[in-house]
Amino acid sequence: MFLKFLRLEIKSFFRGTSVGVNLFMKILRFIAILYFMACLAGGAFAAFFYVRDEMHQDPLIVISKLLIIAWAVDLILKYIWQEMPTQNIKPFLTLNIPKNTLVNYMLVKTFLSALSWLNSLFFITFSIIALFNGYSVVGILTWFIGISLLFYLNNFINILFNDKETIVIIIGCILAAVAGLAYYNIVPVLSYSEKFVYGFYHRPYLIAIPAVLFFGLWRIVFNYVRKEFYLDQGLEAKKQFGKTENIAFLNKYGVIGTFINNDIKMLRRNKVTKGILIGSFFFLFYGMLMYTSTAYKTPAMMMFMGLFVTGGFQFLFGQRVPAFDSSYYPLMMTLNVPYKEYLKAKWWLINIVTAASVVIALFYAYFGWEVYVTFFAAGLYNIGVNSQLTLWSGAYNKTQIDLNSKEKRIGQKGSFNLKSMLLLIPKMLLPMGVFALTKYFFGITAGVVSIAILGLAGFLFREKIFDIIVKQYKNEKYSTLDAFKNKG
């Protein structure tokens, strides 16, 4: 039966109206996977020999100590990006196929995700290197199996807590508290990780612990999914009773105020948009990366971080216009909706949040005023230039968005467009290059002023730029409507 499912997956890939785009996206994903495979395999070599030759420590002990961090990061990534493959299973529920088989197939399919097996490449390579350097064959084998089972547990944890946001927040707070206790050496978390994981090597019988957890969680998750595995229950789109809200003072700004009012309601009510707000908040701390590597302290990378710190909401929300309105976009196009006011409302909302981010980012002045003025200049560029370019790139985004379900898919067939990629040049590379060159030749003041002038110029010529953007939205109107209507 599993082989039949696999054949159907292959057939579905080569059929349909979007086969060309699907193939192109698959090629891009394949290239990305090859890149990460090379990085992980090379990282295993680097980790082993650097720890042994430079740090003069046992590589297996050091990796075992740090594994708790990798495990937590893996869990977070799977929660953000990995979802249950329920859509392809729904048609089989009306056929004479045992439900237990379908549930098991869904669980097995989660292990085929790149997020599930890519990390194994690091451990496989590391284990092979260890074997060639005199480590015990039995010990390395049990160590590898033990940590693989621990990482595969995250698939089951992700399924259990997928829609339980309150529990996820509690678990997130617990992980943050444990990280803080470990950072300040209050609780030796890394030492516990070393003793437990390294125990798989010199006490192979300890592998029974992750094995019992793995098969026990498999059974728990199987029963959990099996109980909800009905079209009119667990797999049905969740419905909520609507409630009327209105931000009255925005109505005095006419059509633009009405559109802003609607967008604020959307941001407050839906799962995807709430995720956008949370992600935008975390973008404010992106600048902390400058303390993890000296490469981030170069002028170009400082500007890069500033663009993300002040423009997190802009990049997450703006480039998905009009995808956020995909469910009723065809209806909007039958009405006398003024395109320019529709886009200006998005523009004002984006810039209000960007301006607030610039103010909040003031805490970076603690690390030096040069850091903050760089971020301040990046904020001005985001307001004057990138806000419009981001909306422009949204014209080519044909990805449908279900506002009531978690968005965990990367690289969807409608999310990639060459024109959107080309717009990254003025959005990112231009300010980075201008700031780096002017600062190198004339100092920090000239660098900040040059970026501020670009931002001011974009703001002053916004009407002309909006005319171009509106023209592009009208040119893409019918292909966008077709994409939003075509659920396949």
Q: What are the domain boundaries of the chain?
A: 27-227, 248-485
Query: What are the structure tokens assigned to 89, written together?
Result: 């299973």
* Cβ atoms of residues 106 and 83 within 8 Å: no
pLDDT at 10: 61
Judge whether 488 and 18 are in contact, CB under 8 Å: yes
Report how far Cα 212 is from the mean position of its chain's Cα atoms. Answer: 32
Q: Which of 367, 392, 369, 364 is nearest to 462 (CA)?
A: 392
197 with 210: CB under 8 angstroms?
Answer: no
The conformation of residue 397, written as its DSSP 8-state character, comes to -
Q: At what angle do helices 2-13 and 19-49 cross, to 10 degrees?
A: 120
The span from the CA of 383 to the CA of 310, in Å, is: 9
The beta-strand segments (E) located in 379-474 are none
What is the torsion angle, in degrees rounded to the nearest 10, for the CA atoms of residue 312, residue 318, residue 319 and residue 320? Answer: 110
Residue type, 294: T
Structure tokens at 418: 């060459």
User: pLDDT for 38-77, tens place per residue?
Assistant: 888 888 998 999 999 888 999 999 999 999 999 988 888 8
Residue ranges in the chain whose pLDDT is less than 70: 1-6, 8-26, 28, 84-91, 163, 230-253, 289-296, 402-424, 486-488
Q: What is the pLDDT of residue 130?
A: 93
Q: Tell me what pLDDT residue 409 has.
A: 43
The CA distances from residue 454 to 394, 427, 450, 451, 479, in Å, are: 22, 11, 6, 5, 33
Q: Which residues, at least 6 apart from 379, have a Cβ–Cβ distance to it below 8 Å?
A: 306, 310, 311, 354, 355, 357, 358, 361
The confidence score (pLDDT) of residue 85 equals 60
Dist. CA 424–CA 385, nearest whole Å: 12
Q: Quick one: pLDDT at residue 410?
A: 40
Which residue, among 177, 199, 198, 178, has the nearest Cα to 188 in the 3D structure?
Answer: 178
Peptide bond into 322 cis (omega under 30): yes
What pLDDT is attached to residue 340? Answer: 82
CA distance 469 to 475: 10
Sequential DSSP letters for 317-371: IITTTTGGGTTTHHHHHHTT--HHHHHHHHHHHHHHHHHHHHHHGGGGGGG-HHH
- In angstroms, the CA 193 to CA 478 distance is 56
* Distance from C-alpha of 152 to C-alpha of 74, rounded to nearest angstrom: 10
Residue 146, exposed/middle/buried by CB under 10 A (0-12, 13-18, 19+)?
Answer: buried
